């Protein structure tokens, strides 16, 4: 069984205006880390209006769901005690002209000096799934094999249609904002782990990025854990949707491991088509056509069906088929979180939107 862990980033907002508020330190303190969670389960983020949680290493989706509910409750309750709310949106729907202060850590301050305007606009929140791999060599094999499926996963996860109080026309504006850093987007193909390390080192030596933590590809090798880290998804409104994406991500990794062991050929997709597929997924979510690796267009439902067919055996072997399939069907029926944000804004304006993104975090 491949182990998994999840990281989620939350935005701290004023309950009335929805504006980001720099209360990360107060929320962390109010969460009661000594009694509620392990020290490394609630972490700082780049800006002081954000907080990140990290689950322990888990073997089952039920464990992941339990930890996500526990940590979402802890952060949500702590936020309310400090006069704000935790918002589950991939981007801040509204923000003030004055930038939110940077968390005073050396790495973050260095990033602020390198790209001030980019840092000011990093009011974006993702979900990262870590899936265990036997070693880094197999990790690179996995990266080479899952890259073609990540635009579909991005389209399914879209949860950031609004920015500065207006609809951006994109389902995942977070992807657009994040894509302005030097090393982002689809993961390249690597000849092996030595090639991965050589090219990563060259990027650091160039001075364009400060460290390998700024390899912001959609998937990468973790520097801290023996895992592949899948980073393409927006943070999710609902905990069970986050569980669904964890199950899909783990099944993708498991399928890639089996393909590598059997000597199956690598899936071929030119880097430029993957970039186009990523842009199209961010633009439309599941409401428009997606770019296929052979070129041309495919319907979003067809793309999701192909993904589910690809990971079917891995889901069965993990015992995740019923849960993940039911949640995917609900997603196709009800739409993405971006669709729900747009409906809330259209039906009730900003108050309804704030209510949606700050109260659905622990919904069953």
% of the chain exceeding 70 in pLDDT: 97
Per-residue model confidence (pLDDT) at position 232: 98
Q: Where are the beta strands (DSSP E) in the chain?
A: 4-13, 42-43, 50-54, 85-87, 126-132, 162-163, 166-167, 184-185, 216-217, 219-221, 227-234, 290-291, 297-298
Give the C-alpha separation, 355 to 352, whole Å.
5
| Residues 71-81 as b or e (16 or more Cβ within 10 Å = b) | bbbbbbbbbee
Structure tokens at 291: 């770019």
Q: What is the pTM of this model?
A: 0.95
Per-residue model confidence (pLDDT) at position 362: 62
- Tokens 């929805």 sit on residue: 18
pLDDT range class, residue 33, cuts 50, 70, 90: low
Q: Which of 135, 255, 262 is nearest to 196 (CA)?
A: 135
Per-residue model confidence (pLDDT) at position 344: 97
Distances 110 to 102, 103, 107, 115, 128 between C-alpha atoms, Å: 10, 11, 5, 9, 23
- Indicate the range of 38-42, 62-66, 157-161, 323-327 predicted with least confidence: 38-42
On the question of pLDDT at 40 being above 90, the answer is no
Q: What is the pLDDT of residues 265-301, one digit of tens each?
A: 999 999 999 999 999 999 999 999 999 887 789 999 9
Q: Which of 287, 317, 294, 292 is nearest to 307 (CA)?
A: 292
- Count Cβ atoms below 10 Å from residue 216 Cβ, excluding itself: 16
Q: What domains appear along the chain, each with residue ranges and CATH number?
A: 4-347 (3.30.590.20)
On the question of pLDDT at 315 being above 50, the answer is yes
pLDDT range class, residue 321, cuts 50, 70, 90: very high
Structure tokens at 262: 């059997």
Give the C-alpha separation, 91 to 102, whole Å.
17
Per-residue model confidence (pLDDT) at position 295: 77
- Average pLDDT for 340-350: 97
Mean pLDDT of the chain: 94
Per-residue model confidence (pLDDT) at position 35: 44
């Amino acid at each position: 069984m491949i182990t998994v862990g999840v990281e989620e980033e939350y935005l701290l907002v004023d309950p009335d205006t929805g504006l980001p508020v720099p209360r990360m330190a107060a929320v962390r303190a109010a969460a009661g880390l000594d009694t509620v969670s392990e020290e490394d389960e609630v972490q700082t983020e780049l800006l002081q209006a954000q907080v990140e949680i990290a689950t322990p290493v888990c073997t089952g989706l039920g464990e992941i769901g339990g930890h996500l509910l526990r940590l979402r409750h802890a952060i949500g309750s702590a936020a309310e005690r400090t006069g704000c709310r935790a918002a589950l949106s991939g981007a801040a729907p509204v923000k003030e002209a004055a930038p939110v202060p940077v968390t005073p850590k050396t790495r973050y301050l260095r990033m602020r000096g390198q790209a001030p305007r980019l840092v000011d606009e990093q009011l974006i929140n993702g979900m990262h799934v870590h899936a265990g791999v036997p070693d880094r060599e197999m990790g690179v094999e996995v990266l080479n094999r899952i890259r073609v499926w990540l635009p579909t996963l991005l389209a399914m996860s879209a949860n950031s249609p609004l920015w500065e109080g207006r609809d951006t026309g994109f389902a995942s504006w977070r992807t657009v904002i994040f894509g302005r850093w030097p090393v982002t987007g689809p993961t390249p193909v690597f000849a092996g782990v030595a090639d991965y390390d050589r090219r990563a080192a060259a990027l650091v030596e160039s001075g364009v990025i400060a460290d390998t933590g700024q390899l912001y590809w959609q998937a990468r090798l973790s520097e801290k854990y023996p895992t592949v880290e899948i980073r393409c998804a927006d943070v999710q409104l609902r905990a069970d949707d986050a569980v669904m994406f964890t199950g899909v991500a783990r099944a993708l990794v498991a399928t890639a491991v089996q393909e590598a062991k059997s000597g199956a050929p690598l899936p071929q997709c030119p880097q430029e088509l993957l970039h186009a597929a990523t842009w199209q997924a961010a633009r439309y979510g599941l409401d428009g056509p997606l770019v296929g690796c052979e070129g041309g267009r495919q319907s979003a439902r067809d793309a999701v069906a192909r993904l589910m067919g690809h990971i079917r055996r891995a889901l069965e072997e993990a015992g995740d088929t019923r849960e993940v399939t039911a949640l995917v069907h609900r997603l196709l029926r009800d739409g993405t979180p971006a669709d729900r944000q747009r409906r809330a804004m259209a039906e009730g304006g900003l108050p309804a939107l704030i209510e949606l993104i700050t109260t659905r975090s622990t919904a069953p």
